[in-house]
Structure 1
Amino acid sequence: MDDKSNSHIENIAKKETFTQEEKQFILDRLNKERLERQKFQEEYAMSQKKYTEEEKHRILQELNEKRIRDEHNKEMKRIRFLDKETYTFGNKTYYKLKDMEREYYLEVETCENFTSRPSIVPLYYRTFGEMKKKEVLLKIVPYSDKIFISRDAIRVYFKPFALQDKHHQG
């Protein structure tokens, strides 16, 4: 780049408002840099080695295994919440957990966000007609339709719990 162009850039850089000519100069410069970067990336991509048939097969196999795992996780999530009884208290809807020492509820809205990474989630319980909450550590496991809860975030011990099924009347 010549000295005239450099001094022109330095003068533009000090300004807060630009003339139409300066704006066009900036846009042209940015576009030129973008095109050079794009050309470099395309050349780099072309220079990468070609895969052997064995490598292609291994990659496809890994992708297929990941797809199968993802489908399985999706199916377990669907089953975990399929045909479960819901309860409405106030303006919120809850699932009831089975086999706990008292009646605990999970807010339906929060259940969509459960992952295999433990997170702090409120469990709700009713006392004298009002909903109280208790924070617990909760996670899901891909191979199970249960919800794993640890009541203590310090001494973590997860126990599996299911949600109450809908009562079918025949």
Structure 2
Amino acid sequence: MRPSDILQALLFVVDAPLSLETLSEVVGEPPEAVERALQVLESELAERGAIQLVRLAGGYQLATKPDYAPYITRLLNPPPKRLSRAALEVLAIVAYEQPVTQAQIDALRGVDSSHTVRQLLARGLIEEVGRKDAPGKPILYGTTQQFLHYFGLNSLDELPEQPEAG
């Protein structure tokens, strides 16, 4: 069996990105060999078919090529999973200021954000990352791998630059 075929089979059966380390362990090859096989798979998929190899959330995943999106949307007709303006505001604060407390989020927004924070926790877009060393030991929040996946980012380094405060 070709290493690129093994990787394609592994990536086909999972619903989340797999890291190079995980793929290396499963295949039983060093990361450099797995990376070469991933490059072969990527070029083979790019040449033909509807599937592509993408780097996402610090790993690799198979995805349909963007040209096929209208057909997939028509088939699946998913319910809208839009985020509210409040949720986007809280996510932006958490993404750029993390780790951040509920009080810091509320102070930046000027309103109580507890309901929105609970919704984002339930959706897996933010998570508790610790406790602040301050009176009451408030919870610190940060973004998750699901956040990266939702916004199509490989890492937080890909976030746009913050606009200058004016």
Please classify the TM superposition score into its range, dividing by the shorter chain length. under 0.3
TM-score (norm 2): 0.20
Larger radius of gyration: 1
The structure with more helix, counted as a fraction of residues: 2
TM-score (norm 1): 0.20
